[in-house]
Copies of this chain bind each other. A is one copy, B any other.
Amino acid sequence: MSRKTRTYTLREIVKRLGGELVGDPRVRVSQVATLESARPEHLAFAAHGKYLRQLANTAAGAVIVGRAGRGATGLPRIVCDDPYAYFARVSAFLNPRPRARSGVHPAARVARSARVGGGASVGAFAVIEDNVRLGPNCSIGAGCYLGANVSVGAGSELYPNVVVYHDCVIGERAVLHAGAVIGADGFGIAMHEGRWLKIPQIGRVVIGDDVEIGANTTVDRGALDDTVIEDGVKLDNQIQVGHNVRIGAHTAIAGCAGIAGSARIGRYCRIGGGAIILGHLTIADHVDISAATLITKSIGKPGTYTSAYPFEAHRNWLKNAAHLRKLDELVRAVRKLGRGARQREGKKS
């Protein structure tokens, strides 16, 4: 955890971020921490009820608790409706993102036709092609490549070695982590006389505002129309988004998930790590998909969906899983037994 030297009183924090302060308002904190590892200069948090027990043993100087935790500790505390969200906000306040020095690094290559907004920065060895537009205060990391006509909105940050292919659009306040690739060709091929023909991918990727995209995540450009990532979408690392996918606003997807071409994901969905969503299907708003789940057809109703095979000790798995290939046989045997039983019942009555 980074060591901070600037401190704030609880009074200053509550004045800025709200919440009810209980205990000494002059207590000073410099950083957030977990209950377990906190020291006296830290503000810790008990996000859920089950953490309230840990309050007795924490060395934190102060804590954030929910309404139910108001009387659970004698420590100076900030009482609020949603301790985890409060923690997120106080952490953002205590840990502002470091800003790159504005300006174009002398070792970057920026096309003469590109426009660089005020306060924007371009790192060493970045390449900015013709007609790129960089909004004010956006930050392009070292070694990034932005193809012709790309546009990046105000305040967006690209970490090093991000590649954005030509014509793609990135909104405001986006964060793209290192190694992300936006706008590579979708996987469009057609078999013709024993060879694959490539189908030119002439759509773009259009990314809304307040989107975060994880390290080494890939979002393919559309085949004909665009691939669209709406406002507020959060993608973790190593996710693959196929061509012509649309991901609805404020949907969050965990690492290693794969979304096949032309899938339409709703708003406020949450998709677990390693999930695979097949192509050309539609998922409603507010759908949760469990980790490692395969979605093979459209989902019209909110709720949680799962397809995981439960793990077990390998020797037991061997015994159990072998029957899966004979499940139909088993079902037939049970049906036959059922018919026999019903016949006997019929005879008796």
Binding site for B on A (CB under 8 A): 1-2, 31-34, 37, 82, 84-85, 87-89, 91-92, 94-95, 97-98, 107, 109, 123-125, 127, 141-143, 145, 159-161, 163, 165-167, 175, 177-179, 181, 184-185, 187-192, 194-200, 202-204, 210, 212, 214-216, 218, 220, 222, 224-226, 232, 234, 236-238, 240, 242, 250, 252, 254-256, 258, 260, 273-274, 276, 278, 288, 290-296, 303-328, 330-331, 333-334, 337-338, 340-341
Contacts and interface: CB of A to CB of B under 8 A. Distances in A.
A190 B250 CA distance: 11
Contacts of A145: 141-143, 160-161, 178
A317 B290 CA distance: 11
Contacts of A303: 313-314
A274 B82 CA distance: 36
A250 B196 contact: yes
A255 B241 CA distance: 9
Given A196-B234, A304-B314, A308-B309, 10 more contacts: A1-B225, A127-B143, A145-B161, A177-B185, A179-B218, A320-B328, A321-B327, A323-B331, A330-B331, A340-B341
Contacts of A310: 296, 307, 321-322, 324-325
B160 A163 contact: yes
Contacts of A255: 187, 218, 240, 242, 258, 260
A91 B199 contact: yes
